[in-house]
Structure 1
């Protein structure tokens, strides 16, 4: 997987952002946005622990990291299971000697009209996208004894009422508010919480949707930039929010959406 960060810039950029040598946990790191961000942060010199429910994808990411000579370990974890998340955070501390950042990225979507979506499906989306993000952030915060930074993955869909995405839209809007609330509550502990709001991004989770040219055209029509997002374009915005240099940025949702929410 090609990463946006040129090899000649990685060391200096990682040092400038203060991420070199810091330990960062990334959930949903087996594919898509999580994979791109995890590998990108490792290229900036961070020690990254990737989490996901399936080991196969994580092992493939670890192989890429090994070939690139960057620091990436992984643990199998389900973000909706508190004990699983707690064990993974302990693994990060044990492996790298501390915990400085987390990217709570794991998420799912069910695309159905609100009158048809099943109650169990709605609960499942909220459980992963909101409850899982909360459990991840809280577990990390417990271990950030010297302060740290947490980035939650929200969405541009949090600010637009796209039809057929009721559970996803609602869960992502809640994530943005969660970032605001936790940032106020945890700022005295030296822990910053922000969110990132990508627009439609091509990932293995939604590639079937974007295989439909009519669906893709309808989505792109609402994005002034005229295209969907490349997951690699989230590496530097996420690194910016994680950076200890930005001590006064709290509770924000940084939209990376090509102008979709303007």
Structure 2
């Protein structure tokens, strides 16, 4: 039920981190993957790795803050594989620092990527699917974060943007409930990665981890099963839900 054969899945922010992982997992499950990001040099390496594993993938230059760029990416995907039936709106950035020190330009840049970019990606997908009367096949996943429900110093703008993404997912799910596509959010906790490991190896990071019930980071494969479920036919009856995968970190 979690196979993605016959589906075209577009992943934004696919040049590194979770986005690259999502593209690999979708391709391994049989999807035709369209990997989009601004850093096209990194996309080439990702595509080579997916093809080496037997997957099908194309890459597109994509700036999610630019409506024309988003529309062009979906048009390229449709021309190559047919309508995009699965979307992972993953592109996002973070700007750290105390609220009193945060430049308004940095705040605007973060919201342009994390909120407007997610909105443009989801809306373009819905328009494309509804235009060909295939909305019910659509599966849109918005990548949020457990910080959307937390009060953490130093990431005020990021946390607020992810709270907006979570609520956006519910609003879009309701608006598109009759004809589709389905819209759900995936809210990860802190995952083991090169960047996260540096922080959590520090004294301050160790103190933060010690406050969690299980005192550990998520492994990089922690989101795989939920991702495939939400992109597949198995989730036909699921829309407007937020899936928190954090190993109890937010408890």
Q: Retained in 2: the 8 A contact 1:33–1:232?
A: no
Query: Structure 1: 5+ residue runs without aligned partners?
Result: 1-15
Most deviating of 235-244 and 125-134: 235-244
The aligned residue for residue 175 of structure 2 is: 185
Q: Does 1:216 align with 2:182?
A: no
In structure 1, distance between residues paired with 2:33 and 2:193: 21
The alignment's TM-score, normalised by the length of structure 2, stands at 0.93
| Equivalent residue in structure 2 for 1:246, among 228, 235, 238 | 235
In structure 2, distance between residues paired with 1:174 and 1:237: 21
- RMSD, matched Cα: 1.6
In structure 2, distance between residues paired with 1:223 and 1:152: 25
Q: Secondary structure at the match of 1:24?
A: strand
The aligned residue for residue 56 of structure 1 is: 41
The aligned residue for residue 153 of structure 1 is: 143
The aligned residue for residue 8 of structure 2 is: 23
Q: Retained in 2: the 8 A contact 1:32–1:231?
A: no
After TM superposition, give the deviation of residue 18 of structure 1 in Å: 4.5
Q: Secondary structure at the match of 1:248?
A: coil
Q: Deviations over 1:159-206 (max 9, x none)?
A: 0011110110000000000000000001112210000000122446x4
In structure 1, distance between residues paired with 2:6 and 2:78: 13
Query: Structure 2: 5+ residue runs without aligned partners?
Result: none
Q: Does 1:167 align with 2:139?
A: no
In structure 2, distance between residues paired with 1:235 and 1:208: 20
After the TM superposition, list the runs of 4 or more consecutive aligned residues in structure 1 that deviate by more than 6 angstroms: none
Q: Secondary structure at the match of 1:233?
A: coil
Q: How many aligned positions are there?
A: 246
Q: Secondary structure at the match of 2:30?
A: coil
| Equivalent residue in structure 2 for 1:76, among 61, 64, 71 | 61
The aligned residue for residue 97 of structure 1 is: 82
Q: Retained in 1: the 8 A contact 2:145–2:186?
A: yes
In structure 2, distance between residues paired with 1:21 and 1:98: 11
The alignment's TM-score, normalised by the length of structure 1, stands at 0.89
After TM superposition, give the deviation of residue 224 of structure 1 in Å: 2.3
After TM superposition, give the deviation of residue 223 of structure 1 in Å: 2.9
The aligned residue for residue 33 of structure 1 is: 18
In structure 1, distance between residues paired with 2:212 and 2:42: 31
